[in-house]
Amino acid sequence: MNNRNLLKGIFLAVFALIFALGALKYNTGTVQRPGPGFFPFMVSSLLFVLGVAMAARAHFTKRVPMEFTVKNIAIVLGSLAGFALLSEYVNMIAGITFLVFASTFAGTRYSWRRNLAISAVLVGIAFVFQKGLGLQLPLY
């Protein structure tokens, strides 16, 4: 099952299927007067065919295993989500600090002291953005 070419085809076909089923909910109209569902249905059907063809072709090509490391992408996404939540409910300084301390778990070495320094510098940059460039960051 771990065959990159096969998974590629399946990924595209599933993606297309979601959009095609969604498109059927809208009025497709006629060819003379295409409705809002016409174009997405057409494109997603094409993509579905393409995806299935790629999955089928994977039988005839050499198998390439797909590399996938869950840990790093999960840490990165988790720290982004934490940043957004903390900035929303506390403030952005807390968000930035969390982002630094959480995301560096994906790095090679972990150091509290270095993380404090990075956070301090980034908060400083955020202040420059806010005061100097007029970005509306909810820092505190």
Partner 1 sequence: MDIINNLMFGFSHALTMHNLMYVAIGCFVGTIVGLLPGLGPLATISLLLPLTFSIPTGGALIMLAGIYYGAQYGDSVSAITMKIPHASSIVACIDGYQMTLNGQTGLALFTAGVSSFIGGTVAIFVLAALAPALGEVALLFGPADYTALMLFGFVCVSFVTTGSLLDGLAMCMVGVLLGQIGTDVNSGVARYTMGIPQLLDGIGLVSIALGCFGIAEISKNLDNREERTPFSGKIKLMPTWPQFKRIIPSALRGSVVGSFLGILPGGGPVIAQFAAYAIDRKFSKHRDQIGKGAIEGVAGQAAADEAAARTSFIPLMSIGIPENAVMALMMGAFIIKGIQPGPNMIASHPDLFWGLVASMWIGNCFLLLLNVPLVRYLLSIFKIPYNVLFPAILFFCCVGTYSVNNSLQDVFTTAAFGLMGYIMLRLSLDPAPLMLGFILGPMLEENFRRSLLLSRGSFTIFVTRPIAGTLMALIAIFVVWNFIVFVRQVRRNRATNGNGTVPAEAD
Angstrom CA distances, 120 to 84, 116, 126, stand at 18, 6, 10
List, in order, residues 6 or more apart from 5 with CB less than 8 Å away: 54, 55, 57, 58, 61, 63, 64
Site string for partner 1, 28-57 (x = CB under 8 A): --xxxxxxxxxxx--xx-xx--xx-xx---
Give the residues across from 29 on adjacent strands: 34
60 is an interface residue for partner 1 by CB under 8 A:
yes
Positions 82 through 111 that interact with partner 1 (CB under 8 A):
83-84, 87-88, 95-96, 99-100, 103-104, 106-109
Q: Which helix H or strand E contains 72, and what residues bound it? A: helix 70-89
17 is an interface residue for partner 1 by CB under 8 A:
no
Contact pick of 24, 73, 90, 120 for partner 1 (by CB under 8 A): 73
Contact pick of 26, 56, 128, 131 for partner 1 (by CB under 8 A): 26
Contact pick of 80, 91, 94, 127 for partner 1 (by CB under 8 A): 80
